[in-house]
């Protein structure tokens, strides 16, 4: 399967965890395999959820809950927060935006308590999409600004560029297309320099949609052509 290499040290684990529909089955699996009961397993699971969610959301949900079970078994708040964010991401994809915000806020509190500010920034960023869909634009701006402040302290160029895309999305949803264009363009300068084709694809598509909304069809056409010429 496409994601087994994500858990390269744990062959077949994704299949087993996603086949275990009940919490008791997941706990039994971890009880019978003590070598899996460690933080690195949970972190790999949380990472795998984000990839699997685009292929099979139901299986991704099961995997996220399995990770949460293991975090509880280890009584590890850092892992609870990481798997919580993974669960929140699946809730966003289900359109459960209010539930997702509650999940993200819980993870956010855990990361803040632990002093994990980069994880805090990542969780703030994850919360932006549901806030946008719920029309809570002021709150989205505030969270994006908080995430930006953390990323600037750590000089994380990639994260800052991705945040520019999010700022553009907030403005885009408010029909502030000209302002959104500025953020998308700034993001693309960095993303192209850092060699991030998938992020660039998102930026180019969003930019083209803004130009269409501004009746700037020639610019939109050029951007779509650029997108198709860029390998992912």
pLDDT tens, N- to C-terminus, the chain (232 residues)? 333 344 444 547 777 777 766 777 777 777 777 777 888 888 988 988 988 888 899 989 989 988 898 899 899 999 999 999 999 999 999 999 999 999 999 999 999 999 999 999 999 999 999 999 999 999 999 999 999 999 999 999 999 999 999 999 999 999 999 999 999 999 999 999 999 998 999 999 999 999 999 999 888 888 777 777 665 5
Residue 192 maps to which CATH number? 1.25.40.10
159: nearest Cα among 130, 124, 185: 124
- Total domains, the chain: 1
79: nearest Cα among 44, 115, 35: 44
Q: By residue range, what is the domain housing residue 223?
A: 156-232
Q: Is residue 195 part of a domain?
A: yes
Q: Is residue 209 part of a domain?
A: yes
Q: What is the value of pTM for the model shown?
A: 0.86
Contacts of 129 (CB under 8 A, 6+ apart): 92, 97, 169
Q: Is residue 94 part of a domain?
A: no
Q: Is residue 110 part of a domain?
A: no
> Helix (H, G, I), strand (E, B), or coil: what is residue 115?
coil
Q: Is residue 114 part of a domain?
A: no
Instruction: Show contacts of 116-122: CB within 8 Å, 24+ apart.
Output: 116/78, 116/81, 117/150, 117/153, 117/154, 118/150, 118/154, 118/156, 119/78, 119/81, 119/82, 119/85, 120/147, 120/150, 121/146, 121/147, 121/150, 121/151, 121/159, 122/85, 122/147, 122/159
């Amino acid at each position: 399967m496409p994601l087994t290499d994500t858990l390269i040290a744990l062959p077949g684990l994704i299949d087993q965890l996603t086949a275990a529909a009940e919490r008791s089955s997941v706990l039994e699996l971890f009880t019978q395999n003590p070598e899996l009961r460690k933080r690195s397993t949970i972190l790999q699971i949380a990472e795998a959820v984000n990839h699997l969610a685009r292929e099979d959301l139901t299986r991704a949900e099961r995997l996220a809950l399995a990770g949460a079970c293991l975090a509880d078994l280890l009584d590890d708040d850092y892992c609870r927060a990481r798997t919580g964010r993974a669960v929140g991401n699946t809730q966003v994809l289900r359109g459960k935006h209010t539930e997702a915000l509650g999940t993200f806020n819980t993870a956010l509190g855990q990361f803040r308590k632990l002093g994990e500010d980069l994880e805090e920034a990542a969780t703030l960023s994850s919360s932006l999409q549901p806030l946008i869909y719920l029309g809570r634009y002021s709150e989205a701006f505030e969270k994006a600004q908080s995430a930006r402040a953390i990323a600037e302290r750590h000089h994380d160029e990639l994260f800052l560029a991705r945040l520019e895309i999010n700022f553009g999305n907030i403005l885009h949803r408010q029909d502030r297309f000209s302002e959104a264009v500025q953020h998308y363009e700034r993001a693309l300068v960095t993303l192209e320099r850092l060699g991030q084709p998938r992020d660039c694809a998102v930026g180019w598509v969003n930019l083209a949609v803004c130009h269409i909304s501004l009746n700037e069809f020639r610019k939109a056409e050029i951007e779509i052509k650029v997108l198709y010429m860029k390998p992912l």
